[in-house]
Amino acid sequence: MANGRSMQPITRKERDFARREQEILDAALSLFNNPSWEQVTVDQIAKEAEIGKGTVYKHFSSKDEIYACIALEFHERLLANFKMINHDQPVDQVMREVIRHSFTLYLDCQAHARVSLYCKRADYVERLSEVYQDKFDQVEKSFEASIGSILETGIEQGVIPKRPYHHLIIGLEATFEGAMSMIWNTDISCRSQLEQDEFITVISEYMVAGLMGLRA
Amino acid sequence: MANGRSMQPITRKERDFARREQEILDAALSLFNNPSWEQVTVDQIAKEAEIGKGTVYKHFSSKDEIYACIALEFHERLLANFKMINHDQPVDQVMREVIRHSFTLYLDCQAHARVSLYCKRADYVERLSEVYQDKFDQVEKSFEASIGSILETGIEQGVIPKRPYHHLIIGLEATFEGAMSMIWNTDISCRSQLEQDEFITVISEYMVAGLMGLRA
DNA sequence: CGAATTGTGTGACTATTGGTCATATTATGA
DNA sequence: TCATAATATGACCAATAGTCACACAATTCG
């Protein structure tokens, strides 16, 4: 519940409660690690976490809220990865790093990433409480700030065409999310590691070409 | 059911049965025309078509099969649109037309298009009967043939970098599907027509730049 | 014509699952 | 030790995908 995630746990009881919450999320994530993750039931999550179903609802007001927590944590992780990039390289190199870090994290944390993508769907956002909608809006702004400053530097250096932020980002965002969907939608078992690396290499090259190739 | 869709209806009874099938699909499509289309129930579809729920299942073995029929019809429509394009123009212009036709059709037939996108999800395909999986594979091959021949012409003319078909198509496909998701995921009410046109124009420019910008 | 057969329509029924809640259990503190 | 409060729980409810026994209509056959 909201308090559990926003305040520091003090007493033993509160620590236990907070730990249980993480256990629920971990249980959920371990079950979400496959393409049919949407079929996972709250009961299964409870069983995996070795608690009763009612207990899950003591921590999260709905299944959707579990998704939201996972997505938000993932977005923070992605943002943290972006901040680790050396911003003193040439801007095109920085953007390549951004793309590479994104693919790497999405593939390393498939469960998180799948849930995050799901949480962008209009029907999901619609039924989400305002509190969480705001949190997602906040995350969106952080990304805009993070990538925006890189692109701005690029524009100043004349490496990136002089266009409003949204013109520059929408193509990259669309391609990235479409590409991840394609990777997940292709039966993993019939795709060799080499093929996947090749896929990502080609997509990345295309993304950079698309970005740089816009008319200034 | 399978026969209904593959043979010509002869008797009065068969014609009625076939018409009812189309009525069910039309009812479904009219209800699918909003972002929460996945919440539409079989009962609602039956009510909209003014029949009992059981009757729906006389025509389609599952809700998923309704989706499949809608998606397959849509893909045929898209292919037909591609065939209408004048292939004698310069190849880059043909590709721009392909992209434009795709966006136009996806926006004109949002219900069909949403369902089609849904039908690419791995978990959906997994639970689909082999018959329908094969049909989707067939459609995939048709698209590959259609676009592939355009790209090949482009390579011969030196307009498109000499790369295997998959290298050329994956970026376009990823961007297009990601872009449509973004359009649908953004609350329609808070997006003006102008913004949407601008979005598509920019994305199209980016797609062409990405395609042409690959190293030969 | 009437009976039999075949195909179609139907809604009550089942199974599953997200979410609720009264009750049981446990921890804390006087 | 007992009272109070916080937490855990699974029986329960509501919604919904899918089933099925039966009703009904049309077509065929005697």
Which domains are delineated in chain A? 1-60 (1.10.10), 67-212 (1.10.357.10)
Per-residue pLDDT, averaged over B189-196, amounts to 78
Amino acid at B60: F
| Angle, CA A46 vertex, CA A45 and CA A51 arms, to 5° | 155
Per-residue model confidence (pLDDT) at position A10:
61
Q: Which of residues 44-73 of B touch strand C (CB under 7 A)?
A: 51-55, 57-59
* pLDDT band, very low/low/confident/very high, at B187 (cuts 50, 70, 90): confident
In order along its 216 residues, chain A shows pLDDT tens digits of 444 454 455 666 677 778 999 999 999 999 999 999 999 999 999 999 999 999 999 999 999 999 999 999 999 999 999 999 999 999 999 999 999 999 999 999 999 999 999 999 999 999 999 999 999 999 999 999 999 999 999 999 999 999 999 999 999 999 999 999 999 998 777 777 778 999 999 999 999 999 999 998
Percent of chain B with pLDDT over 70: 95
Q: Is B101 a residue whose pLDDT tops 70?
A: yes
Nucleotide nearest to A14 (CA to C1'): D6
Question: Which residues lie below 8 Å from residue B197, measured CB to CB, with a gap of 6+?
Answer: none
Q: Which helix (H) or strand (E) holds B122?
A: helix B122-127
Predicted pLDDT of residue A192: 77
Cα–Cα distances in Å, from A123 out to A161, B76, B110, B136, B188? 35, 27, 15, 26, 12
With CA atoms as reference, report the closest residue to B125 among B176, B64, B170.
B64
Strand C proximal to B197 Cβ, under 7 A: no
Pick among A40, A99, A175 to test the B interface (most B CBs inside 10 A): A175
Residue B39: which of A123, A173, A174 has the nearest Cβ?
Answer: A123
Looking at chain A, which residue has its C-alpha nearest residue B120? A185
What's the pLDDT tens digit per position in B4-52? 454 555 677 778 889 999 999 999 999 999 999 999 999 999 999 999 9
Nearest CA in chain A to B39: A123
Encoded tokens for B170: 């994956």
pLDDT at residue A179, rounded to an integer? 98
- The length of chain A in residues reads 216
Count other Cβ atoms within 10 Å, centred on residue A170.
20
Distance CA A206, CA A201 (A): 9
Say whether B202 and A167 touch across the interface (CB within 8 A): yes
Please report the DSSP string for B55-121 in residue order. Answer: HHHHH-SSHHHHHHHHHHHHHHHHHHHHHHS-TTS-HHHHHHHHHHHHHHHHHHTHHHHHHHHHTTS
Taking alpha carbons only, the member of A77, A61, A157 closest to residue A109 is: A77
Measured CA to C1', the nucleotide nearest A56 is D8
Band (B3; pLDDT cuts 50, 70, 90): very low
pLDDT of residue A107: 97
Of chain B residues 77-136, which have a beta carbon within 7 Å of strand C? none
Please say if the pLDDT value at position B1 is more than 70. Answer: no
Token code pair at residue B140:
């995939």
What confidence tens digit (pLDDT) does each residue in A53-81 have? 999 999 999 999 999 999 999 999 999 99
Q: From the candidates B125, B140, B181, which should be mutated to test the interface with A, based on the most A CB atoms within 10 A?
A: B181
- Find the CB nearest B123 among A36, A123, A126: A36
What rounded mean pLDDT belongs to chain B?
A: 93
B48-73 burial: b if 16+ Cβ within 10 Å, else e: bbebeeeebeebbeeebbbbbbbbbb
Task: Give the nearest nucleotide to B44, CA to C1'.
Answer: D16
| Nearest residue of A to residue B124, measured between CA atoms | A36
Q: What is the sign, positive or negative, of the torsion defined by CA atoms of A162, A164, A167, A170? A: positive
Give the model's pLDDT for residue A216.
86
Question: pLDDT-based confidence at B66, cuts 50/70/90?
Answer: very high
Query: B18 to each of B42, B46, B77, B115, how far by Cα in Å?
Result: 19, 16, 20, 22
- Average pLDDT on B115-119 reads 98
Q: Spell out which residues of chain A touch residue B121, defining contact as CB-CB under 8 Å.
A: 35, 185
Residue B114 has pLDDT above 70, yes or no: yes
In this prediction, does ipTM exceed 0.90? yes
pLDDT of residue B191: 73
